[in-house]
């Protein structure tokens, strides 16, 4: 992104005349709360050039002057050790194309970690830009028997210091007043030292002058961590939290999604009633409305997932979860924080991919993104249910367990294991060139996040999903509808082929069987023939490209089922129409196994591709993911088929 982004975010203003303020600080200092309080929800996002790091720029009005405010990524140091950090330093020095350094800096430091933070403050003051220090969590400092004389601190540093309690919104007004005076901010009489030993000495001197008393241990954190990070109890609680996480999603999001689907179903029914032309009704009702509906149906799940993630992150539990899982993740070359991203993908890969933002290493982010689609997302569930129902007798048992349940569990396991292997492989490929980033993770005290910051985090994610994925999902839905419903057939044509135009189910079957999608299905038949798929299954797989769960309905249509949503009976009686297996049942065990495995691996969700494109800033990586996963799906499906055929004798 270049300077052009400013003009998009501030309509009607000349961007070069607006003062640019940059917010910097360490990750848990409450910087983003302050940014949200200053700019509200009006932050434009994008990526920094050349890296997969999101850029947040907003604006605020103080008096009659508008200011552009940028929330730089949280960091512990201005000495970069990765390309991501280098970009941030480049922003501060105005080294990005077409950009100047910011006009002024706001540094957020946590009063409870002042001793460490002063080293960072020293680095910032050495930049020589007008700087104002915002001290956060002073209430927590007092609560933990700490103390800071803010005026003395200001005198010692030589720059303005404002006390801000971000999660309560206190001090924001005073901060805004200070921002308005940015041209008159005092500067230190001498920049702080660069030498590490001298910096420590400088910091200690400043702290003594400011009568700083370090906080005692946070009692609540200590007590809670004694359980949450206990080798046994902690792991138990961890899995309980994860189960609760998913339970909430399925219990709350699923009904909401049902409402959305019902609403759009009703809407398209309405259009069918009021538009005479069957085809036009279909285009408007099913394609267009269906496209929009397909986007909106994601929203409850995504919003809820992001709410939960923002809550857990805001409270401070995420670092505990990452701490517990780091060793396991390290086996795949990743780190603890990647676990959260992968786990979210069990519900939906989209929040999972977006959650990779918390990973400091770009290579980790990519490897996790490439692996996330392999996790068994909720969209695969209806497909698995259908196929397992075809494959396994509901009464079959192994010991106390139903075989159907076991196979389902096996599919989940397959998803998780293949995701880990994929992550490991991508990390390996990526690592050949660079050195490994050191692993470190702050364990902040448990804090109550402000309701506002949680809602804003959730809102931002939902907004960015909608902005970037609506097009791709809607376009795919419409395109697929067209493929499945063209060419048009007149009533006379239908009768000539023995189809009663009044029988909508028969018409639907006929249309599907003679559609362009069917042509495509026949076209790719040689490719999928070794897997045991015929052209009708191919059509189903193709339609799953927009959303996996449509596989069930499409297949139902193709099979001329009485109720396309419950096509099991119809599918069982399907036979090959031609070729060497003509007359034999289509859904044999090897074929079903191949289909199951194909769905486990194939990347069929356009929304995921859209999100990947947004996060990586280009088409390269989504295309790589799509290619490798499709090839993998074919190979693994063939393997599955062969194995099952052998086992079947």
Residue 152, class by beta-carbon neighbours within 10 Å (0-12 exposed, 13-18 middle, 19+ buried)? middle
Give the range of 182-190, 244-252, 402-410, 495-503 binding other proteins by CB under 8 A: 182-190
Give the range of 39-47, 230-238, 344-352, 492-500 binding other proteins by CB under 8 A: 230-238
Our CB check for other proteins shows the closer of 113 and 568 to be 113
Give the range of 190-198, 453-461, 551-559, 607-615 binding other proteins by CB under 8 A: 190-198
User: Applying CB under 8 A, does 631 fall inside the site for other proteins?
Assistant: no
Our CB check for other proteins shows the closer of 141 and 260 to be 141
Q: How far is the CB of 113 from other proteins (least distance, A)?
A: 4
Instruction: Report residue 470 CA to chain centroid gap.
Output: 15
Which pair of tokens denotes residue 275? 């538009």
User: Applying CB under 8 A, does 204 fall inside the site for other proteins?
Assistant: yes
Sorted by sequence, the CB contacts under 8 Å of residue 147 that are 6+ apart come out as 141, 211, 212, 213
Q: Closest Cα to residue 211, out of 147, 131, 154?
A: 147
Among 152, 180, 272, 482, binds other proteins (CB under 8 A): 152
Residues in contact with other proteins, counted by CB under 8 A, come to a total of 61
Could you tell me where the DSSP H helices lie in 499-619? 504-513, 516-523, 525-528, 535-543, 550-558, 568-572, 589-601, 606-616
Note the residue count of the chain: 649
User: Applying CB under 8 A, does 191 fall inside the site for other proteins?
Assistant: yes
Among 15, 103, 442, 513, binds other proteins (CB under 8 A): 442
Q: How far is the CB of 312 from other proteins (least distance, A)?
A: 17
User: Applying CB under 8 A, does 3 fall inside the site for other proteins?
Assistant: no
- E-strand ranges in 96-217 read 104-110, 131-136, 161-164
Distance CA 341, CA 360 (A): 13
Among 21, 38, 206, 383, binds other proteins (CB under 8 A): 206
> Could you give the C-alpha distances from 136 to 209, 290, 355, in angstroms and in order?
19, 48, 26
Tell me which H or E stretch contains 23.
strand 20-25
Give the range of 223-231, 367-375, 540-548, 563-571 binding other proteins by CB under 8 A: 223-231
CB 453 within 8 A of CB 32: yes
Among 35, 48, 67, 120, binds other proteins (CB under 8 A): 120
Q: How far is the CB of 235 from other proteins (least distance, A)?
A: 6
Among 94, 196, 405, 530, binds other proteins (CB under 8 A): 196
Our CB check for other proteins shows the closer of 65 and 145 to be 145
Q: Closest Cα to residue 298, out of 379, 384, 380, 412?
A: 379
Among 16, 42, 95, 201, binds other proteins (CB under 8 A): 201
Sorted by sequence, the CB contacts under 8 Å of residue 182 that are 6+ apart come out as 19, 21, 103, 104, 130, 132
- The CA angle 229-440-44, to the nearest 5 degrees, is 105
User: Applying CB under 8 A, does 440 fall inside the site for other proteins?
Assistant: yes
- The CA angle 205-208-209, to the nearest 5 degrees, is 85
Our CB check for other proteins shows the closer of 149 and 513 to be 149
What is the residue whose two structure tokens read 């203003």? 13
Our CB check for other proteins shows the closer of 64 and 195 to be 195
User: Applying CB under 8 A, does 112 fall inside the site for other proteins?
Assistant: yes
Which residues make beta-bridge pairs with 60?
A: 67
Distance CA 649, CA 646 (A): 5
Q: Closest Cα to residue 312, out of 167, 446, 442, 221?
A: 446
Give the range of 41-49, 194-202, 300-308, 396-404 binding other proteins by CB under 8 A: 194-202
User: Applying CB under 8 A, does 57 fall inside the site for other proteins?
Assistant: no
Q: How far is the CB of 151 from other proteins (least distance, A)?
A: 9
Residues 274-333 that bind other proteins (CB under 8 A): 319, 323-324, 326-328, 330
User: Applying CB under 8 A, does 198 fall inside the site for other proteins?
Assistant: yes
User: Applying CB under 8 A, does 126 fall inside the site for other proteins?
Assistant: no
User: Applying CB under 8 A, does 214 fall inside the site for other proteins?
Assistant: yes
Sorted by sequence, the CB contacts under 8 Å of residue 145 that are 6+ apart come out as 213, 215, 216
Which residues make beta-bridge pairs with 95?
A: none
Which residues make beta-bridge pairs with 69?
A: 21, 58
Our CB check for other proteins shows the closer of 121 and 343 to be 121
| Start-to-end C-alpha separation, the chain | 60
CA atoms within 13 Å, Cβ hemisphere of 649 = 0
**DSSP one-letter string for 190-225:** SPPP-SHHHHHHHHHHHHHHTT-B-----HHHHHHH
Our CB check for other proteins shows the closer of 207 and 472 to be 207
Q: How far is the CB of 90 from other proteins (least distance, A)?
A: 17
User: Applying CB under 8 A, does 190 fall inside the site for other proteins?
Assistant: yes
Long-range (24+ apart) CB contacts under 8 A made by 486-495 are 486/515, 486/516, 487/514, 487/515, 487/516, 488/279, 489/514
Our CB check for other proteins shows the closer of 149 and 431 to be 149
User: Applying CB under 8 A, does 25 fall inside the site for other proteins?
Assistant: no
Our CB check for other proteins shows the closer of 326 and 493 to be 326
Residues 408-437 that bind other proteins (CB under 8 A): 435, 437
User: Applying CB under 8 A, does 184 fall inside the site for other proteins?
Assistant: no
Sorted by sequence, the CB contacts under 8 Å of residue 324 that are 6+ apart come out as 229, 234, 235, 238, 336
Tell me which H or E stretch contains 56.
strand 54-62
Among 11, 438, 502, 583, binds other proteins (CB under 8 A): 438
Residues 586-625 that bind other proteins (CB under 8 A): none
Q: How far is the CB of 211 from other proteins (least distance, A)?
A: 6
User: Applying CB under 8 A, does 208 fall inside the site for other proteins?
Assistant: yes
Our CB check for other proteins shows the closer of 47 and 186 to be 186
Our CB check for other proteins shows the closer of 90 and 225 to be 225
Which pair of tokens denotes residue 506? 């028969």
Q: How far is the CB of 226 from other proteins (least distance, A)?
A: 9
Among 7, 86, 142, 235, binds other proteins (CB under 8 A): 235
Our CB check for other proteins shows the closer of 224 and 624 to be 224
Q: Helix/strand/coil (H, E, C) string of 605-620? A: CHHHHHHHHHHHCCCH
Residues 538-597 that bind other proteins (CB under 8 A): none
Residues 65-104 that bind other proteins (CB under 8 A): 76-77, 79, 81
> Which residues contact other proteins (rule: CB under 8 A)?
76-77, 79, 81, 112-116, 119-120, 149, 152, 155-156, 158, 188-191, 193-198, 200-206, 208-209, 211, 214-215, 225, 229, 231-232, 234-235, 319, 323-324, 326-328, 330, 336, 435, 437-444
């Amino acid at each position: 992104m270049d300077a052009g982004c400013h003009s998009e975010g501030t309509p009607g203003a000349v961007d070069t005349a607006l003062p640019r303020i940059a917010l910097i600080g360490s990750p848990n200092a409450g910087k983003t709360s302050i940014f949200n309080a200053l700019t509200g929800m009006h932050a434009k996002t994008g990526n920094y050039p050349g890296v997969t790091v999101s850029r947040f720029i907003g604006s605020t009005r103080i008096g009659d002057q508008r200011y552009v405010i940028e929330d730089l990524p949280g960091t512990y140091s201005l000495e970069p050790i990765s390309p991501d950090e280098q970009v941030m330093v480049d922003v501060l020095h105005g080294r990005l194309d077409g950009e100047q350094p910011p006009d002024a800096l706001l540094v957020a430091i946590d009063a409870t970690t002042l001793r460490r933070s002063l080293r960072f403050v020293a680095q910032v003051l050495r930049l020589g830009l007008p700087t104002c220090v915002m001290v956060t969590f002073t209430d927590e400092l007092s609560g933990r028997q700490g103390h800071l004389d803010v005026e003395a601190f200001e005198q010692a540093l030589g720059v303005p210091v404002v006390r801000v309690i971000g999660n309560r919104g206190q001090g924001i007004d005073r901060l805004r007043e200070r921002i308005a005076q940015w041209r008159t901010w005092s500067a230190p009489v001498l920049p702080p030292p660069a030498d590490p030993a001298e910096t420590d000495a400088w910091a200690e001197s400043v702290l003594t002058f400011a009568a700083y008393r370090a906080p005692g241990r946070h009692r609540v954190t200590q007590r809670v961590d004694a359980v949450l990070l206990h080798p046994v109890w902690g792991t138990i609680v961890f899995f309980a939290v994860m189960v609760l996480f998913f339970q909430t999603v399925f219990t709350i999001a699923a009904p909401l999604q049902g409402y959305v689907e019902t609403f759009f179903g009703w809407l398209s029914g309405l259009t069918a009633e009021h538009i005479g032309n069957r085809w036009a009704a279909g285009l408007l009702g099913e394609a267009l409305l269906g496209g929009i509906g397909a986007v909106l149906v994601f929203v409850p799940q995504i919003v809820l997932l992001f709410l939960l993630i923002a809550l857990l992150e805001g409270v401070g539990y995420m670092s505990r979860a990452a701490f517990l899982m780091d060793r396991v993740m390290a086996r795949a070359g990743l780190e603890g924080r990647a676990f959260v991203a992968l786990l979210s993908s069990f519900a939906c890969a989209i929040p999972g991919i977006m959650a990779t933002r918390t990973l400091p290493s770009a290579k980790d982010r990519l490897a996790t993104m490439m692996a996330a689609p392999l996790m068994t997302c909720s969209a695969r569930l209806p497909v698995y249910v259908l196929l397992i129902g075809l494959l396994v007798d509901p009464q079959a048992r192994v010991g106390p367990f139903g075989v159907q349940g076991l196979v389902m569990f096996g599919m989940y396991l397959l998803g998780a294991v293949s995701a880990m292997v994929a992550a490991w492989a991508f990390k390996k490929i990526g690592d050949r060139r660079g050195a490994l980033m050191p692993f470190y993770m702050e364990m902040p005290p448990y804090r109550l996040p402000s309701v506002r910051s949680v809602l804003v985090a959730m809102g931002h994610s939902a907004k960015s999903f909608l902005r970037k994925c609506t097009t791709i999902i809607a376009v795919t839905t419409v395109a697929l509808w067209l493929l499945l419903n063209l060419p048009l057939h007149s009533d006379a044509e239908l009768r000539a082929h023995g189809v009663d135009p009044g029988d909508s189910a028969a018409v639907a079957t006929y249309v599907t069987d003679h559609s362009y999608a069917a042509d495509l299905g026949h076209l790719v038949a040689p490719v999928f023939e070794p897997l045991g798929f015929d052209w009708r299954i191919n059509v189903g797989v193709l339609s799953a490209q927009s959303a996996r769960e449509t596989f069930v309905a499409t297949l139902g249509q193709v099979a001329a089922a009485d109720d396309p949503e419950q096509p099991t009976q119809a599918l069982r009686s399907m036979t090959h129409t031609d070729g060497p297996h003509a007359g034999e049942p289509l859904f044999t065990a090897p074929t079903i196994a191949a289909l199951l495995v194909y769905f486990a691996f194939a990347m069929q969700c356009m929304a995921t591709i859209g999100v990947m494109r947004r996060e990586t800033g280009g088409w390269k990586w989504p295309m790589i993911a799509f290619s490798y996963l499709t090839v993998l799906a074919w190979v693994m499906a063939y393997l599955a088929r062969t194995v099952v055929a052998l086992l079947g004798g």
